[in-house]
A and B are shown apart, each in its own frame.
Chain A
Amino acid sequence: QSALTQPASVSGSPGQSITISCTGTSSDIGGYNYVSWYQQHPGKAPKVMIYDVIKRPSGVSNRFSGSKSDNTASLTISGLQAEDEADYYCASHTSSSTLIFGGGTKLTVL
């Protein structure tokens, strides 16, 4: 299975909003509302930020939001803060009953 497609890097200034895209196919993102997003700081395990496309786990800031259109999912972070600088990964259920991740996006807060 090929990884979902994410931009390698994005950047933004504090207070701004950024959006990270995640493109798949009708066999994964487009076929199910089971897209999740993970934040990973250096040397740490990933942390789930969004699941079921749009849901936030308890304790995750409402500055993080998710959406989906056709085969592309998106993560938007509003009011960027220095602590948001991290790697971000999307993931999706697939029609083969597997889990597939995106290649990851490095977010730099300028």
Chain B
Amino acid sequence: QLQLQQSGPGLVKPSETLSLTCTVSGGSITSSSYYWGWIRQPPGKGLEWIGCVYHTGGTYYNPSLRSRVTISVDTSKSQFSLELSSVTAADMAMYYCATIQLWFRSVDYWGQGTLVTVSS
């Protein structure tokens, strides 16, 4: 059973960079079946796909966030990471890492979530 464990700070200052990491266990991050992705959910609101990375390093991003987002993978550590630059209050949300089947067929496994607050 694949498991995703998130880590990273829950508090980020305005204009700084949000950084989160997701560690994969119970399966291989080099699997050809999945993208490794990030999804967020502002309090009381809906889900928003941020982007994802394949184990080869290829990436797909939400066009509305593309200019501020970097998602990367470190296969040696079985980890993938999210960086979101120049954060504002609008970026406050629960951030989930997740496995996404190719062709975006399904989001199968989810991390536990990290509530990120943007405040000085």
Contact = CB atoms under 8 A, between A and B. Distances in A.
A98 B103 contact: no
Contacts of A47: 110
A36 B110 contact: no
Interface string A78-110: 000000000001011110111111111000000
Interface string A22-35: 00000000001010
Contacts of B113: 45
Interface string B93-120: 0001000110111111011110000000
Given A51-B105, A99-B49, A1 B60 contact: no
Contacts, number: 68
Contacts of A38: 47, 107
B contact residues, range:
20 to 34
B46 interface: yes
A26 B72 CA distance: 31
B47 A89 contact: yes
Given A91-B107, A93-B104, A93-B105, 19 more contacts: A1-B63, A3-B46, A34-B105, A38-B47, A45-B96, A57-B108, A91-B47, A92-B104, A93-B103, A96-B63, A98-B61, A99-B37, A99-B49, A99-B104, A100-B49, A101-B47, A102-B46, A104-B45, A104-B46
